[in-house]
Structure 1
Amino acid sequence: MAVQNKDENSLPGSKLTIADIAAELGVSKTTVSRAISGKGRIGKETVRRVMECIEKYNYRPSAIAKGLATSKTYNIGVAFPADTNLSSTPFFQICLLGVCEAAAAMDYDVLVTTVKENDISQLKRIVENHNIDGIILTRDFMNDMATEYLKQKDIPFVLVGSSEDSTIVQVDSNHREACEKLVSLLLADKMSRIALIAGDMRHMVNLSRCEGYINALRSRQISIDTELVFTDCDSQVSIEQAVNSILKHQAECIICTDDVICTRVLSLLREAGAHVPGDIKVASFHDSIYLESNNPPVTAVGMDVKELGCIAGKRLIEMLGGDIDIHKKILDYEIHLRRSTQ
């Protein structure tokens, strides 16, 4: 069928198809697809006619049509860690909002999957079924299987986090520096017995935050008290054991490596009858609405998680367009001093 002039009650341009354009010009659908994608042997005059017709009727090819023409899906993936904390922390949801915002602005859709440290079968499926053009990883493990697999398959990807592998495109906040600064501020406020409760140390982000804690103590020549440092606290039981021991050893302040641990610590302190900040002070190496709205509000390191997602999404789509710059993007942070440490 021929494409009618808009004045002749033609369909809106967004509803036209490659077949309509082909019929209007008397060429094949393959010719129109090749003219749009710039691939294949097509005469300059034919390309000109196709482009003029597209412009005349304000034609916008669908994602499927564009994909057929360019061998792209116009989907990017986001891989979340499949651990128990996923449902209780806003970090990944907020990061996803940022990715979706960037993708929508660049005519891409987002497909979500999950990965485990020793099981990346979900990731493999969407890659090997050609469901995505590239992917964003939201957590990096030591000796990470996901990054090695994606490099092997030559799939473009961006890591929201940090890796020692300089060939990986990374977007992150400066966790080590931010955490060192927060501990230094607390030490300057005449505290010396500052306890630490950290999550899974296989995660690079926890390693970086703990290094910040250690660096701050060492810079003031304060020895690390092993009775006040608890790592791999990734369950209610392990956090409860840590809190009980810290109270027994009369720490002045508890610092948690993330908001999920901190929320649990605050609950356990209330159950134990320990008042914050009167009996013990509390701070977190990652902020959230839960900590900000707690009574009292909790001192924490603030990072723009949505911006992390936005930049990661934009960076990945730029890579899919041919940008090969692999520099690491580091976002700024803020220290939110609140009543929990006053």
Structure 2
Amino acid sequence: MSRLTLETIAELAGVSRSTVSRVVNNHVSVRPEVRERVLSVIEETGYQPDPAARRLAGQRANIIGLVIAEPAQALFADPYFPRLIQGITQACNPLELTLSLFLFHTKEEEASLYPKIIRNNLFDGLITAGNHVDDPLVPQLIENDVPFVAIGRHEHPDVNFLDTDNVAGAHAAVTHLIRLGRQRIAHITGHLKNRSAQDRQQGYLNALRDRGRTVDPALIEIGDYTEASAYEAMHRLLTKGIDAVFVASDSMALGAMRALREANVTVPDEVAVVGFDDLPPALLAIPPLTTIRQPIRRIGALAVETLLDIIDNGSKPARRVILPTELVVRETSGVG
């Protein structure tokens, strides 16, 4: 009898190779009935997992790439990316997948380095993060039929992506401030070439309009997802008589709160603050930050699972997953 392989078990169980791999490595993402079927086949055949053979099967590299098209200061200053990478690596490790990180600081660098990467067959598929509207990478991936999944919403019908419901999350944040009786609610955006920033701004606008509020463009300041940009934006807003602000990320919210503190404006008595992400600094802020929680680590893990499914089964129809957010009320909006 020939040596049993993952492919043999997959065929006998009527599932994909990646599903068998996840069962063998006790990955939690497999449905119970599928896990039971695979384990039954393994028991009947006496299959013994061979990590070396698994790596060689299918002529795969067992490497997936993570592309982050952000400046280094954004990557290492914002806790969002470390948490995302943590979710990705936690999904990769049980499957004996190596994660290769590609950092591109400019669009020109990204466009020039991409052909070298793809020609060398360095990976089985890619996860992209950054989600800029004018990202040059995505069209090249589609053109070259490279398996990939994007973290962040995309308009292209063939792009597989995962995202959180940024519009609904921002809407919940602003509705919360309106219910508290705040009248002049400002917004500090993220970088507006980023779809998440666009969606969060849209949620802010929708919430005001849904409550019959007039949108005052003077109360919208443009940031870039850095603490420094929000610090400067808040100084400009302080001259406009605001009593609340929705900030497009927790990191920026901390910058806004620093500006308020330096101006001797009390939070939340004079100005209430709501952020977005629910990263660890939100809980450690003084006072603790009300924010919108998004499941960042889960997004990372689901990105790996989705990419493996694309590698095994093709990219059509496109998989589009939008995960819900949650309002987490703390002291910066008056609840202590």
| TM-score of the aligned structures, taking structure 2 as reference length | 0.80
1:9 is matched with none
Aligned-partner Cα distance in 1 for 2:156–2:47: 48
1:10 is matched with none
Larger gyration radius, structure 1 or structure 2 = 1
Aligned-partner Cα distance in 2 for 1:291–1:239: 15
Q: Is 1:107 aligned to residue 96 of structure 2? A: yes
Amino acid at match of 2:152: G
1:117 is matched with 107
Aligned-partner Cα distance in 2 for 1:137–1:280: 37
1:60 is matched with 50
Show CA shifts across 1:168-192 (max 9, x none).
1111110101111221121122112
Pairs within 5 Å for 1:92-103: 92-103=81-92
2:18 is matched with none
1:249 is matched with 240
Judging changes above 3 Å, is the alpha-carbon distance between structure 1 residues 321 and 255 closer, same or farther for their aligned structure 2 residues?
same
Question: In the alignment, is the contact (CA less than 8 A) between 1:114 and 1:123 conserved in 2?
Answer: no
Structure 1 residue 155 displacement after superposition: 0.6
Amino acid at match of 2:78: T
State which drifts further: 179-188 or 120-129: 120-129
Aligned-partner Cα distance in 2 for 1:268–1:305: 27
Structure 1 residue 328 displacement after superposition: 0.8
1:327 is matched with 319
Structure 1 residue 222 displacement after superposition: 1.5
Structure 1 residue 226 displacement after superposition: 1.8
Structure 2: gaps spanning 5 or more residues:
9-44
Question: In the alignment, is the contact (CA less than 8 A) between 1:75 and 1:110 conserved in 2?
Answer: yes
Aligned-partner Cα distance in 1 for 2:256–2:167: 22
Structure 1 residue 235 displacement after superposition: 5.9
Q: Is 1:178 aligned to residue 166 of structure 2? A: no
2:183 is matched with 192
Question: In the alignment, is the contact (CA less than 8 A) between 1:85 and 1:260 conserved in 2?
Answer: no
1:141 aligned counterpart, secondary structure: coil
Q: Is 1:337 aligned to residue 326 of structure 2? A: no
Judging changes above 3 Å, is the alpha-carbon distance between structure 1 residues 146 and 249 closer, same or farther for their aligned structure 2 residues?
same
Structure 1 residue 133 displacement after superposition: 0.6
| TM-score of the aligned structures, taking structure 1 as reference length | 0.79
Aligned-partner Cα distance in 2 for 1:315–1:139: 18
Question: In the alignment, is the contact (CA less than 8 A) between 1:114 and 1:122 conserved in 2?
Answer: no
1:3 is matched with none
State which drifts further: 249-258 or 101-110: 101-110
Task: Supply the RMSD in Å over aligned alpha carbons.
Answer: 2.5
Judging changes above 3 Å, is the alpha-carbon distance between structure 1 residues 118 and 232 closer, same or farther for their aligned structure 2 residues?
farther
Amino acid at match of 2:209: R
Amino acid at match of 1:79: V
Show CA shifts across 1:212-267 (max 9, x none).
00001111221221221111445666434421221111100121101121111112
Aligned-partner Cα distance in 2 for 1:190–1:167: 44
Pairs within 5 Å for 1:1-342: 58=48, 60-62=50-52, 66=54, 68-83=56-71, 84-115=73-104, 116-120=106-110, 121-233=112-224, 238-324=229-315, 325-342=317-334
Structure 1 residue 136 displacement after superposition: 0.3
State which drifts further: 175-184 or 227-236: 227-236
Percentage identity across paired residues of the two chains = 23
Question: In the alignment, is the contact (CA less than 8 A) between 1:209 and 1:285 conserved in 2?
Answer: no
Structure 1 residue 66 displacement after superposition: 4.9
Question: In the alignment, is the contact (CA less than 8 A) between 2:229 and 2:252 conserved in 1?
Answer: no
Show CA shifts across 1:270-311 (max 9, x none).
222222112211111222110111121111000110000000
Structure 1 residue 165 displacement after superposition: 1.4
State which drifts further: 130-139 or 111-120: 111-120
Amino acid at match of 2:62: Y
Judging changes above 3 Å, is the alpha-carbon distance between structure 1 residues 147 and 191 closer, same or farther for their aligned structure 2 residues?
same
Judging changes above 3 Å, is the alpha-carbon distance between structure 1 residues 287 and 57 closer, same or farther for their aligned structure 2 residues?
closer
